[in-house]
């Protein structure tokens, strides 16, 4: 089971050529369970509202129609988040790491910062 980092979701949705071949294969295999966290949608909403990002109007309403599973934020995730060392200060990345660790998911990310944590990644 996999969890998409924010940049991975964006590239999968609009620039699949930016994805690595292994990640592309994972996303194309309908047997794989791939989660999109509400953390990611929160981050994208903030970036869109401050003008750092433009997304199609239907992006948020259709994201789960494409076959991704939804991952909500739980108290377990927040507890794990609070226990993480401050290797990286981005709160969205840190919460994605906490979710991946808590749920035993592989984080699909090319971000070297998250690799400082004990989290399984694939790129």
Domains and their CATH numbers in the chain = 2-122 (3.40.50.1010)
∠80-120-70 over CA atoms, to 5°?
65
Using one digit for the tens of pLDDT, what is the confidence trace for 78-102?
A: 999 999 999 888 999 999 999 999 9
**101 Cβ contact partners less than 8 Å away, ≥ 6 residues apart:** 80, 117, 118, 119
Lowest mean pLDDT among 29-38, 41-50, 92-101, 113-122: 113-122
What's 88's DSSP letter?
-
pLDDT of 7 reads 96
Strand-strand pairing, 106-108 and 69-71: unpaired
| Separation of CA 83 from chain center | 20
Strands (E), the chain: 2-4, 34-37, 69-71, 106-108, 121-122
Structure tokens at 84: 């993480």
pTM of the entire predicted model: 0.94
């Amino acid at each position: 089971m996999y969890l998409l980092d924010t940049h991975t979701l964006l590239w999968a949705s609009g620039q699949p050529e930016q994805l690595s071949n292994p990640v592309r294969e994972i996303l194309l295999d309908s047997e794989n369970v791939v989660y999109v966290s509400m953390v990611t949608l929160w981050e994208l909403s903030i970036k869109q509202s401050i003008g750092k990002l433009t997304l199609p109007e239907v992006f948020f309403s259709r994201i789960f129609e494409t076959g991704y599973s939804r991952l909500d934020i739980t108290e377990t995730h927040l507890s794990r988040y609070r226990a993480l060392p401050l290797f990286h200060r981005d709160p969205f990345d840190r919460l994605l790491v906490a979710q991946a660790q808590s749920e035993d998911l592989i984080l699909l990310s090319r971000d070297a910062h998250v690799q400082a944590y004990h989290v399984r990644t694939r790129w």
